[in-house]
Structure 1
């Protein structure tokens, strides 16, 4: 089963400094059919104006992955971590027993991010944060695991969930396959840019696709395309 979730169908809110689109219920956007997808709880497509951002606020028991599409985001938290993550790179915050953090666009240009939340396998662990560069050239024609709590993904940023977040770029006319370990896994794929077909389902720029009951997917790019994919378990 593959369900296209067009960008135009997403919930969202425009706060002036922040134009947010929500693939799942979030804040004031509520949709009983889009609360989560397995252990994937949130996928926000955020556009953040220069010299603005999210002031300090608290989280607990959530794996929060930030994929920077354009610009850069500067993170600071109550653990003493501070870092700047720029386009193509990824940061992960494991909120664990609780952490306060801020995320600001301190650049002179607009920043665009995907923020992805995955429910952890366990609760109450010590919070942590990390970031890592993932050059887009290294992802040409193949998936690279960006964040993972699954075996064999040691080069990825660690998360505390039996899930992985992957990125790839595909040139127009080329195809890329991905295999799920079991058909009961939950996949969610978003085009960061471009257009493609997913097992024959046409997707446009910033569309999402909810995947379940599939063991293999094939993405064929109709123009140069950048992809982010989450492979998540069912809810515990």
Structure 2
């Protein structure tokens, strides 16, 4: 099963310093038919203006992954972590029993990043932070496995049975990905345009995939993110 989600039908918010596209219900955007996709609870496509950001605030019992698309993302938290990440890098935080953190753009151009919230496999984990600076070419015309469960083999490991892959596919190139029985996936066309099993996706569109292998053909240079997970009934 494949279901295309056009970005024009997603939720939106404009606070001036922050412009967001909401893939799922979040903040002032609420759709009772669009709360989550399996354990995937939030994908916010955020544009953060220079010298602004999210001041210190709390979270608990959520696995939070940030994927930097453009610009600089600077993280700070009450565990003593501080790091600035750039395009193609991943930041991970297990909020667990409770954590305070901030996310800012101290650069001189707009920051774009995907803020991803994943439900953990249980509550009450000890809070944890990690990040990884991937080389951009590691995803050029091949899948880069960035995030996995603790039992998986990706550089970033979280408390849930989910895999996150990124891909830059050059125009005219193809790449396939299996979504096996008992599994489902959520695909984000971050940049560019492509066809997924002959269904056209444009910049910022998305697709739900359930138990169906996909073949992607880039119509122009395409930057894609896929979150593959256990199927939820």
Identify the TM-score tier after normalising by the shorter chain: over 0.9
CA distance in 2, matches of 1:131, 1:150: 15
CA distance in 2, matches of 1:67, 1:6: 21
User: 1:4–1:207: 8 Å Cα contact kept in structure 2?
Assistant: yes
Q: Which residue number in structure 2 is paired with residue 220 of structure 1?
A: 217
CA positional deviation for 1:150: 5.8
Provide TM-score, normalisation by structure 2.
0.96
User: 1:150–1:163: 8 Å Cα contact kept in structure 2?
Assistant: no
Q: How does 1:123-162 map to 2 (within 5 A)?
A: 123-149=123-149, 151-153=151-153, 155-162=154-161
User: 1:70–1:113: 8 Å Cα contact kept in structure 2?
Assistant: yes
Structure 2 residue ranges without an equivalent (≥5): none
| SS of residue in 2 equivalent to 1:36 | coil
Given the alignment of the two structures, is residue 76 of structure 1 paired with residue 89 of structure 2, yes or no? no
CA distance in 2, matches of 1:184, 1:195: 28
Q: Which residue number in structure 2 is paired with residue 203 of structure 1?
A: 201
Seen in structure 2, the aligned counterparts of structure 1 residues 143 and 117 have a Cα distance that, compared at 3 Å, is same
CA positional deviation for 1:234: 3.7
Among candidates 188, 191, 212, match of residue 190 of structure 1: 188
CA positional deviation for 1:127: 0.6
CA distance in 2, matches of 1:38, 1:183: 15
User: 1:143–1:167: 8 Å Cα contact kept in structure 2?
Assistant: yes
Deviation by residue 1:65-98 (Cα, 9 ceiling, x = unmatched): 1000000110000111111111111100111111
CA distance in 2, matches of 1:151, 1:60: 23
| SS of residue in 1 equivalent to 2:8 | helix
Deviation by residue 1:30-68 (Cα, 9 ceiling, x = unmatched): 112211001100010000000000011111111111000
CA distance in 1, matches of 2:150, 2:177: 16
Deviation by residue 1:9-50 (Cα, 9 ceiling, x = unmatched): 110110000001100001111112211001100010000000
CA positional deviation for 1:224: 0.7
Q: How does 1:96-107 map to 2 (within 5 A)?
A: 96-107=96-107
Deviates more, 1:98-107 or 1:155-164: 155-164
User: 2:210–2:231: 8 Å Cα contact kept in structure 1?
Assistant: no
CA distance in 1, matches of 2:173, 2:10: 28
Provide TM-score, normalisation by structure 1.
0.95
Structure 1 residue ranges without an equivalent (≥5): none
CA distance in 1, matches of 2:132, 2:197: 31
User: 1:144–1:168: 8 Å Cα contact kept in structure 2?
Assistant: yes
The size of the alignment, in residue pairs, is 233
RMSD over aligned Cα, in angstroms?
A: 1.3
